[in-house]
């Protein structure tokens, strides 16, 4: 007898055939099952989940559409659970959109959850399977299901899955949400330098001026802190406030972009922020980016502020600062930048000393 409750009997053979895509072997084993159950039909209903459940999971996990179809036709249940996970969850986790569609057509639930509360949508999102996400969304999967304080769009932003973020926005996911750390989607994307996602969120109404709930960072401050120059430039183009970006904090928990960039030694970001302020003020407040362009448009040089790498010194930083009459940097701001660059210089010296 091929089918038996013995784990080393026919059930193991069927699992092996299902896992390694041996269609013909699966067919033969299923046909033998039919011959047996013709004589003992009362036995099969109890055996179907135990004997077909594991093979179905293995076929779903490996994307074997034909075998999944064969097993479902023989009575395998889409709701059977193996280690707390249904076949749909397994297929979604592994990115098999064909199997996912097949299981959904057979009645699988888009809101199945595993022992950690993960749904097929959250698993597919976490692992970057845009095809599976698309299938699930077409079947009405919940875009706001919360898993450990994160919705699917927060998971997609954190992992940099641009195509999935776009799919979720198209399906009306809330872009105003905050994660468990109090960060908006825009702040999360900016902090990781996911420039394309930042642009997508900005085009969908993301607000550059909102601060995180804890810590006071804006999206621009996080981009500056982590040295993402192109992302910071994009945020400025979309209206991030250069004044908040360059002025000294007014409260103990208020942080600014230039403070974070200088403290971390991101000289390109500091140049960007200061150049943006000088260009904006020099053009009557119009916001434009002309970083290190050298174009003074017949106006006197009011402020030249840059950070240069001094290759002749192990410290690696040299700050060049000249201020003429009518300079645009306030005394508070100048002192603030001085202090931050001193911090950067000290950190570089400490690093050089440790490397010796």
The full set of domain ranges for the chain reads 218-356
Q: Rounded to the nearest 5°, which phi and psi values hold at 264?
A: -90, 0
Give how far the C-alpha of residue 170 lies from the chain's centroid of Cα atoms, to the nearest Å: 17
Confidence at residue 26, expressed as pLDDT on a 0 to 100 scale = 78
Smallest Cα–Cα separation from 135: which of 90, 79, 89, 92?
92
Quote the DSSP letter at residue 310.
Answer: -
For residue 293, the model assigns a pLDDT of 36
DSSP state of 143: T
Please, what's the largest Cα pairwise distance for the chain? Answer: 102
- Which one-letter DSSP state was computed for residue 287? -
Angle 16-18-23 (CA atoms, 0-180°, nearest 5)?
A: 115
* Residue 293 CA neighbour count, 13 Å, CB half: 12
Q: Where are the alpha helices (DSSP H) in 146-256?
A: 152-159, 162-170, 185-191, 195-203, 219-225, 229-237, 242-246
* Helix (H) and strand (E) counts in the chain: 18, 2
CA-derived radius of gyration, the chain: 29
**DSSP letters for 85-99:** B-HHHHHHHHT-HHH
The 3-state DSSP class for residue 240 equals coil
Q: What is the pLDDT of residues 173-230, one digit of tens each?
A: 999 999 888 899 999 999 999 999 999 999 999 999 898 888 788 999 999 999 999 9
Percent of the chain with pLDDT over 70: 66
**Sequence-ordered alpha helix ranges (H) in 38-161:** 41-61, 65-73, 87-94, 97-105, 120-126, 130-138, 152-159
pLDDT at position 125 over 70? yes
d(CA 345, CA 174): 43
10: Cα separation from own chain's centroid: 44
For position 285, what pLDDT does the model report? 42
Q: What is the mean pLDDT of residues 84-98?
A: 96
Which pTM does this prediction carry? 0.73
Confidence at 339, pLDDT banded by 50, 70, 90: low
Q: How large a percentage of the chain has pLDDT more than 90? A: 44
- Token pair, residue 44, equals 């099969």
Measure the CA–CA gap between 295 and 283, rounded to whole angstroms.
12
In 3D space, the residue among 120, 176, 181 whose CA is nearest the CA of residue 153 turns out to be 176
Place of tokens 């698993």: 123
């Amino acid at each position: 007898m091929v089918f038996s409750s013995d784990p080393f009997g026919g059930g193991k053979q069927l699992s092996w055939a299902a896992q390694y895509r041996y269609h013909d072997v699966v067919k033969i084993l299923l046909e033998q099952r039919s011959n047996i159950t013709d004589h003992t039909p009362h036995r099969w209903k109890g055996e179907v989940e135990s004997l077909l459940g594991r093979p179905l999971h293995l076929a779903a996990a490996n994307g074997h559409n034909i075998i999944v179809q064969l097993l479902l036709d023989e009575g395998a249940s889409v709701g059977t659970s193996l280690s707390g996970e249904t076949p749909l969850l397994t297929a979604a986790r592994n990115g098999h959109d064909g199997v996912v569609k097949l299981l959904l057509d057979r009645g699988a639930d888009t809101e199945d959850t595993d022992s950690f509360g993960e749904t097929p949508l959250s698993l597919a999102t976490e692992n970057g399977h845009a095809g599976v996400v698309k299938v699930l969304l077409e079947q009405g999967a919940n875009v706001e299901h919360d898993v450990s304080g994160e919705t699917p769009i927060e998971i997609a932003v954190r992992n940099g899955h641009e195509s999935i973020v776009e799919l979720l926005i198209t399906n009306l996911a809330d872009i105003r949400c905050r994660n468990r750390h109090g960060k908006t989607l825009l702040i999360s994307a900016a902090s990781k330098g996911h420039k394309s996602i930042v642009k997508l969120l900005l085009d969908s109404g993301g607000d550059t001026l909102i601060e995180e709930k804890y810590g006071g960072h804006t999206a621009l401050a996080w981009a500056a802190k982590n040295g993402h120059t192109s992302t910071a430039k994009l945020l400025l183009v979309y209206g991030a406030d250069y004044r908040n970006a360059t002025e000294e904090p007014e409260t103990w928990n208020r942080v600014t972009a230039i403070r974070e960039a200088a403290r971390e030694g991101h000289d390109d970001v500091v140049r960007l922020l200061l150049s943006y302020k000088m260009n904006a003020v020099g053009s009557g407040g119009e916001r434009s980016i002309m970083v290190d362009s050298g174009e003074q448009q017949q106006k006197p040089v009011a402020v030249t502020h840059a950070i240069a790498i001094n290759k002749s010194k192990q410290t690696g930083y040299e700050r060049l600062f000249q201020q003429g009459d009518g300079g645009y940097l306030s005394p508070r701001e100048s002192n603030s930048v001085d202090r931050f660059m001193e911090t950067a210089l000290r950190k570089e010296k400490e690093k050089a000393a440790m490397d010796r």
